[in-house]
Structure 1
Amino acid sequence: MPTRSTGAASVSARLDELGITLPPVAKPLAAYTPATRVGSQVWTSGQLCSVNGELVAVGKVGAEVSADEATRAARICALNALAAAAEVAGGVDAITRIVKLVVFVASDPGFTGQPAVANGASQLMGEIFGEAGVHVRSAVGVSVLPLDAAVELELVVETS
């Protein structure tokens, strides 16, 4: 089992140290569940860049949304996904490793910076989980996302 190298006694303690509060789990927009357990892993559905039910970045990255705004939106998506995973895992302290992120970026046809946008989420996982936050990742440019969100993220975590 991988160990955390965050320097904190638990993931929740590390979140407190960073001044991060996980948001409430977003209600599904259609017929799906926000997260599900498969063996020792939890898989999330796509989580949008919303805070209190409001999207923080709407439109195409490289047109209506800047790369910096999208990077911040990816971080918000990651927090929303972590909240959904924690709810199914039995709490954030039950999450022992970040396995995979898939970051979808609604992109203007000329925008090619999807990996940099995805770094907003990846770096957050490193801040929270240390070595256990190192993961595999895909950063995918798409033409449109639900509700015209600029960023959407899926997460796979290992649990204890």
Structure 2
Amino acid sequence: MSGGPRARLAELGLSLPTVVPPVAAYVPAVRSGQHVYVSGQLPMADGALLAVGKVGAEVTPEQGRELAGRCALNALAAIDALVGLDAVTRIVKVTGFVASAAGFTGQPAVINGASELFGEIFGDAGRHARSAVGVAELPLGAPVEVEVVVEVS
């Protein structure tokens, strides 16, 4: 991939949002050695959740997938604010949480919204280890939450 992550974002018609302020006692991202640990990111834009509810009930799996992509974009904004997006050498681990309606088992497909965005932006360096977990509730009633660990130079 030529041009780096910013150029790739622009090619995809995306831009980094403002870093989402924490909703409790934590910081958006912390660097430790060659890794940045990003706190769980909700699907927020302009200070508001883009949707509330459980995937498989109030939120469709397709909507959940799009919201997971927004969580990934918010994670990239947190990384950029801390170390700069160009410092990312690899997406190491993605953990996705899906507020799931009873019987919903499509969490991996929902979190693909984040994973695929990282792949589109970083190519092979965007391939990562991952967990996709169904949960009863998420903060503020969010349908999805994504946390990320990246390696930086």
| TM-score bin (small chain) | over 0.9
Corresponding residue of 1:157: 150
Question: 1:99–1:135: 8 Å Cα contact kept in structure 2?
Answer: yes
SS at the partner of 2:52?
Answer: coil
In structure 1, the partner of 2:120 is 127
Amino acid aligned to 1:78? A
- Which residue does 1:112 correspond to in 2? 105
Identity %: 60
TM-score (norm 1): 0.93
The alignment's TM-score, normalised by the length of structure 2, stands at 0.97
Of 3, 17, 39, the residue aligned with 1:9 is 3
Cα deviation 1:2-47 (Å, max 9, x = unaligned): xxxx2x2221121122221010100011110000001010001110
Deviations 1:34-80 (A, max 9, x none): 00001010001110001111111211111111000100000000000
Quote the Cα distance in structure 1 between the aligned partners of 2:65 and 2:48.
17
Unaligned runs of 5+ in 2: none
Could you tell me which runs of 5 or more consecutive residues in structure 1 were left unpaired when the two chains were aligned: 1-5
1:36–1:42 CA contact under 8 A, matched in 2: yes
5 Å matches for 1:57-68?
57-68=51-62
Q: Alpha carbon RMSD of aligned pairs, Å?
A: 0.8
Supply the AA of the counterpart residue of 1:142: V
Segment drifting more, 55-64 vs 10-19: 10-19
Q: Superposed, which structure 2 residues align to 1:64-79 within 5 Å?
A: 64-79=58-73
Runs of 4+, deviation exceeding 6 Å: none
Deviates more, 1:15-24 or 1:65-74: 15-24
SS at match of 1:157: strand
Say whether 1:146 aligns with 2:139.
yes
Distance in 2 of aligned mates of 1:70 and 1:115: 11
Q: Which moved more, 1:53-62 or 1:130-139?
A: 53-62
Counterpart contact for 1:104–1:152, Cα < 8 Å? yes
Return the alpha-carbon distance in structure 2 between the equivalents of residues 28 and 146 of structure 1: 11
CA–CA distance in structure 2, aligned partners of residues 49 and 155 of structure 1: 14
1:22 — aligned with what? Answer: 16
The equivalent of 1:3 in structure 2 is: none
| Contact 1:98–1:157 (Cα < 8 Å) also in 2 | yes
Contact 1:57 1:151 in 2 (8 A): no
Residue identity opposite 2:27 in structure 1: T
